[in-house]
Amino acid sequence: LGFYWITGSFEFQDLFEIFNNLIYNNEVHFLFVTLCASLLFAGAVAKSAQFPLHVWLPDAMEGPTPISALIHAATMVAAGIFLVARLLPLFIVIPYIMNLISLIGIITVLLGATLALAQKDIKRGLAYSTMSQLGYMMLALGMGSYRAALFHLITHAYSKALLFLGSGSIIHSMEAVVGYSPEKSQNMVLMGGLRKHAPITQIAFLVGTLSLCGIPPLACFWSKDEILSDSWLYSPIFAIIAWSTAGLTAFY
């Protein structure tokens, strides 16, 4: 509503054009514009489970596995990333917002990977992994690399959907051994030796895992490599954190 009050339009093209002219001619209060942009970004932060509004994501894992795959891989959390990408011409003329986007992204990358290391529940582990990968996308948007961010959004969706559907198959196989107990059937500690019982699931899970780790020539390698190479040009500190977290991804 704040941007509509300034520009008089909800059309993206008109809004960007009028807004850029107002900023260029210094006809609008910079503090008010920054506040409106921050509030828009806050909505995307909550939607995409970025730090500090990330706590809802692992608890959303109580649903059935296909629903988790839909929410975490393809649609719901991707909406916040797409919103920021769509509004990037608006954010890019406000440098403080771009710095904030990249900072939130890099914190989420590190936090998500660190929390994923401590999980025993397979679905919660994948949820924190999703959070970390969304951080990479947000970091790319903060650097202005929206192509890399949307490319990673697509490659991550395929890889993570494969992992979630594979995890559902594993949980279903575990229920025959431990009974219907989510605490036991989703516990990764108890999942040793499943290869001979579910060979096809093992291959599918391995492909999804290798892709997410960024192993060439699988899909996530190309998108993650583009984000990491852009991060060196943006900030060496951010690049070091992003590269080390890519190693953590392979570890968990």
**Residue keyed to tokens 């051994």:** 177
Domain boundaries, the chain: 2-251
pLDDT tens digits for range 24-42? 777 777 788 888 888 888 8
pLDDT tens digits for range 160-200? 888 888 888 887 777 777 767 666 777 776 777 777 777 88
How many helical (H) and strand (E) elements, i.e. helices and strands, does the chain have? Answer: 14, 0
What is the model's pLDDT at position 62? Answer: 67
Name, in order, each residue with C-beta under 8 angstroms of 44's C-beta and a sequence gap of 6 or more. 50, 80, 81, 83, 84
pLDDT tens digits for range 207-248? 888 888 888 888 888 888 888 888 888 888 888 888 888 877
| Nearest one of 79, 163, 176, 80 to 123, comparing CA atoms | 163
Identify the band that residue 54 occupies on the pLDDT scale cut at 50, 70 and 90.
confident
